[in-house]
Structure 1
Amino acid sequence: MIPVQGYAGRCVAVLGLGRSGLATCHALAAGGALPLAWDDSPDARARAEAEGVALHDLSRADWSQVAALVSSPGIAHLYPEPNRHIAAALAAGVPVDNDIGLFFRSFATADTMAMDQPPKVVAVTGSNGKSTTTALIHHILTALGRPCQMAGNIGTGVLSITPPVEGEVVVLELSSYQTELARALTPDIAVFTNLSPDHLDRHGGMGGYFAAKRRLFAEGGPDRAVIGVDEPEGLFMAGQLAEAAEDARVIRISSGQKLAGPGWNIFARKGFLAEYRAGRQVASIDLRAMPGLPGAHNHQNACAAYAVARSLGAAPRVIEDAMASFTGLPHRSQLVAEAGGVRYINDSKATNADSAAKALQAFERIRWIAGGLGKDGGITALAQHLDRVTKAYLIGHSARDFALQLGEHPHEVCDTIEQATARAMAEAQTGDTVLLAPAAASFDQFPDFEARGSAFIAAVQAGLGRT
């Protein structure tokens, strides 16, 4: 646990008692603060009481006695409209923060700063690839024997990690919900993978969404920034952060285009990762045979992780060996099975059209399972990738909308993931890939994308007669 600094003897309201909220309560108490915990959900309140967290109804709070309000990431504080408790705190002039802000406020202590090699924080944000990039960085550093922890939007809550030891690296995955509200953002290395439309209602549009991501760099002031420049926003931000074209504090990364110039550039083309510094190639890695990193989108993730590892002093060949042993993450281009010449891939994390496009580009002769709670635009943007799709099997709330958008392309409305998987398996031929890449949220039929992915795995195993 990371005890929260700066609030000893003061009341701090905590809104939202999920994983991060409960961890915040315990970390505040460990730092001597008095947490006032609340959640509008009776179930969440019951779980908190079972953990010994005292509840305080924030609708009755005396805000003049509260030093700060700490909100969980999923609670809206501005768009589409502020939560009523957050609105009351803001009206009373009470600062609003989140657990990420508390973490950066509390991570550095007198003990850590006295170490010969103080611990470092790597923070990863972007629209797609955050989780894989974060896990790959953690995997590489662990393989190199360096102490490392992974937290944030993946794995452990940031305040629940073990206090770091000398030379340790903490790798955080940060969503736009987390970067937007945090009052402190001070990573040593910050990574921006890419940007595509997502969560636009929460951020008041694309500009607000980009601004939330950009805060990690503009306000965080990292010692080194790793920036994906395949979209205009990333290219713009890299230009803003660099003092000159040769400024090596900014590492530009790309998947699909060669990056030129006198700076520090890392890119992947045709399955090969190349590192250039001062206009000269210094390293190359063959990514094609790495089973945990299929497709161009994962090659971008590899570029980002490689850049971080190089920034921390690792040699190219050592990084390559570590990458080769990376098996990937569950529900992210996960190879579930291969039988009868057919591959079964679980990419349930592909919850929007852009991430689904990356999955479709990674395979050929696809029997595509898609659908769920569709987002703005549905799958119209995926028309250019349908030449790889033999047939689509549509599920969930958006199944019929997706069917209309597919037009004459072969498709079948199956409603449930079990029906869709069974139909795809029955029709699959040698050389086909049965791919779950929903291009939609899961909340119509499942509590989260993990549950949806697990249902697909179970359906594949049942179809293959496995348990």
Structure 2
Amino acid sequence: MIPVSGFEGQTVALLGLGRSGRATARALKAGGAYPVAWDDSVPAREAAEAEGIELRDLSRQGALHGVACLVTSPGIPHLHPRPHPAIAAALERGIPVDNDIGLFFRSFGSAAFGEFDTVPRVVAVTGSNGKSTTSALIHHVLTEAGRPAQLAGNIGRGVFDLDPARDGEVIVLELSSYQTELARALTPDVAIFTNLSPDHLDRHGGPGGYFAAKRRLFAEGGPDRAVVGVDEVEGLFLAGQLSEGPADARVIRVSVSRRLEDAAWSVVARKGWLAEWRHGRQVASVDLRGVKGLPGSHNHQNACAAWAAARALGLGPREIEPGLNSYPGLPHRSQLIAEAGGVAYVNDSKATNVDAAVMALKAFPRIRWICGGLEKEGGLDALLPAAQASVARAYVIGREAEAFARRLDGIDAEVCTTMDAAVAQAMAEAQPGETVLLAPAAASFDQYDNFEKRGEDFVRAVTSRLR
């Protein structure tokens, strides 16, 4: 545990008592603060009370009297579409509102760092798509190279479940827009922006607010090194804002669509080859085509970002390449779950928006595509060219499967509704050389609690039929 600093002897209110909320309460206590907490969920309150966390309904009149700070969980709205009543009350009283990420950055350093040969560092990854894979890949590369590292944030453990940093350790954090938008301290040593596509627009008041939330990771603390995907205009804009000019190597530009030899430092992937360039010279390259854990150009972009981060941390190409080749992939993200009869079965349940689904569809030449669910804003038109180029047939799931299928113009689509029916039909019709791919292009909440449950159901349906 990393104790929270700066609130010794003060009362700090916590809104949200999931796993990270309870860990934050423990860290506040360890740092000498007095946490009081609330969650609108009865089971969450009961779990917190069982740990000895004091409960207080923070929405009630006077509940915030004497409170030094309100710490809220990422899933609770603080601005759009409207603030939670407790947050609105804190704002009215002028009480600072923060989250666990902000508390982590203000508390991470300790007196022990002065005794280390190498001060621990933090790598923070944000973006719309690929941030989980990029974060996990950086952690894997570091670990395989024998460097101490921990992974946390929006993936794996909460930040206050981390162990105190060791000499030379690297903390790798995946950060969502919900986390970066509110954190009052954001001071990573290396910050990564993967890409941007429309998502969570209601929560951020539109695309401008969504980009602004991501941009805060770079603007608030000023990382020593920024790794920026420049295949969208927002990334180009961000790189331009952070850089003093073409010779400024503090910004490492990443692309899978263009050559960037004019940049002071860049990492690009084209036709399956990753290449690192510095001041117009290629200094390293690696073949990604045979890396099963990183299929497709979207994963090659993730590999470029991870390579850039590892290089910024001082690793050499020969230390990084084995980690790329041994990376097993994350569950529900281009996860190869089986190969049988010449057919591959891939679980990309995390492809919850159109852009992520497009990347998955481009990764395989001939696809039996399982898609559908709770459709997001913007429609499906943007994925039709990729689907028409690679999809042999679509098998549509979800409560609104028929309406979803009607939007797949030019694609042979079967309305299946359930995962079992879709998998059974796709497996019956799949031919050698094809891929049965779950890439829903939609949220899961019409049928499942989350995308993980949906992916697990796909894995179950496939493996039970292959026995």
Cα displacement (A) at 1:223:
0.3
Find out whether 1:365 has 2:374 as its counterpart: no
- The yes-or-no answer on 1:74 pairing with 2:51 is no
* Cα deviation, residue 114, structure 1: 4.0
Q: Show the counterpart of 1:335.
A: 336
| Equivalent-residue separation in structure 2 for 1:280 and 1:241 (angstroms) | 22
Mapping of 1:186-225 within 5 angstroms? 186-225=187-226
What is the letter of the counterpart of residue 55 of structure 1?
A: L
Distance (Å, rounded) in 2 between the aligned partners of 1:160 and 1:458: 31
Aligned to 1:100: 101
1:50: Cα distance to partner? Answer: 2.5
Alpha-carbon separation, structure 1, partners of 2:414 and 2:50: 46
How far residue 380 of structure 1 moved from its aligned partner, in angstroms, is 1.8
Distance 2:35 2:340 in 1: 54
Q: Is the Cα–Cα contact under 8 Å of residues 129 and 297 in structure 1 kept in the other structure?
A: yes
CA offsets 1:262-294 (integer angstroms, 9 cap, x no match)? 410110000000111011111111000111110
Seen in structure 2, the aligned counterparts of structure 1 residues 294 and 408 have a Cα distance that, compared at 3 Å, is closer
C-alpha deviation, 1:408, in angstroms = 4.4
Task: For residue 457 of structure 2, give the secondary structure of its aligned residue in structure 1.
Answer: helix
Cα distance between partner residues in 2 of 1:455 and 1:97: 36
Match of 2:211, SS state, is helix
User: How big is each residue's C-alpha offset from its partner over 1:25-69, in whole Å with a ceiling of 9 and x where there is no partner?
Assistant: 111111111111100111211221233322111123442300000
- For residue 441 of structure 1, the aligned residue among 440, 443, 448 is 443
- In structure 2, relative to structure 1, the CA distance for the partners of 1:131 and 1:327 (3 Å cut) is same
Per-residue deviation at 1:391?
Answer: 0.6
Whole-Å separation in 1 of the counterparts to 2:422 and 2:241: 47
- Match for 2:97: what amino acid? V
Matches of 1:369 and 1:462, distance apart in 2: 17
| 1:268 maps to amino acid | A
Of residues 296-305 and 417-426 in structure 1, the stretch that sits farther from structure 2 once superposed is 417-426
The question of whether the paired residues in 2 share the 8 Å contact of 1:306 and 1:319 is answered with yes
Do the aligned partners of 1:266 and 1:303 also contact (CA within 8 Å) in 2? yes
Matches within 5 A, 1:255-274: 255-274=256-275
Distance in 2 between the 1:389 and 1:47 partners?
47
Aligned AA (2:294): L
What residue number does 1:21 align with? 21
Give the number of equivalent residue pairs. Answer: 465
1:219 is displaced (CA, Å) by 0.8
Q: Deviations over 1:302-325 (max 9, x none)?
A: 000000111111111221112101
In the other structure, the counterpart of 2:299 is 298
Aligned equivalents of 2:383 and 2:178: distance in 1? 26
In the TM superposition, residue 404 of structure 1 has moved relative to its aligned partner by: 1.4
- Unaligned runs of 5+ residues in structure 1 are none
Cα distance in structure 2, aligned partners of 1:87 and 1:7: 22
Taking the aligned partners of 2:465 and 2:40, their CA distance within structure 1 comes to: 42
Give 3-state SS (helix, strand or coil) of 1:345's partner.
strand
Structure 2 unaligned segments of length 5 or more: list them: none
Q: Distance in 1 between matches of 2:403 and 2:267?
A: 40
- In 2, Cα distance between equivalents of 1:107 and 1:368: 45
| Contact 1:347–1:453 (8 Å) recurs in 2 | yes
**CA distance in 1 between partners of 2:405 and 2:63 (Å):** 53
Distance 2:71 2:108 in 1: 17
After superposing on structure 2, the runs of 4+ consecutive aligned residues of structure 1 that deviate more than 4 Å are none
Where do 1:296-445 residues align within 5 Å?
296-386=297-387, 387-445=389-447
Instruction: Give me the whole-angstrom Cα distance separating, in 1, the residues matched to 2:461 and 2:124.
Output: 36
After superposing the two structures, state which structure 1 stretch, 161-170 or 369-378, moved more: 369-378
Deviations 1:83-128 (A, max 9, x none): 1110011101100000000000100112224422110000000000
Mapped to 2, the partners of 1:113 and 1:63 lie a distance apart of: 38
Paired residue secondary structure (1:440) = coil
**TM-score by structure 2 length?**
0.98
**Which residue does 1:40 correspond to in 2?**
40
CA contact (8 A) 1:374 1:397 kept: no
**Letter of the structure 1 residue corresponding to residue 424 of structure 2:** A
Percent identity between the aligned chains?
Answer: 66
> Which residue does the alignment assign to 1:53?
53
Q: In the alignment, what sits opposite 1:242?
A: 243
Counterpart residue number, 2:134: 133
Normalised to the residue count of structure 1, the TM-score between the two structures is 0.98
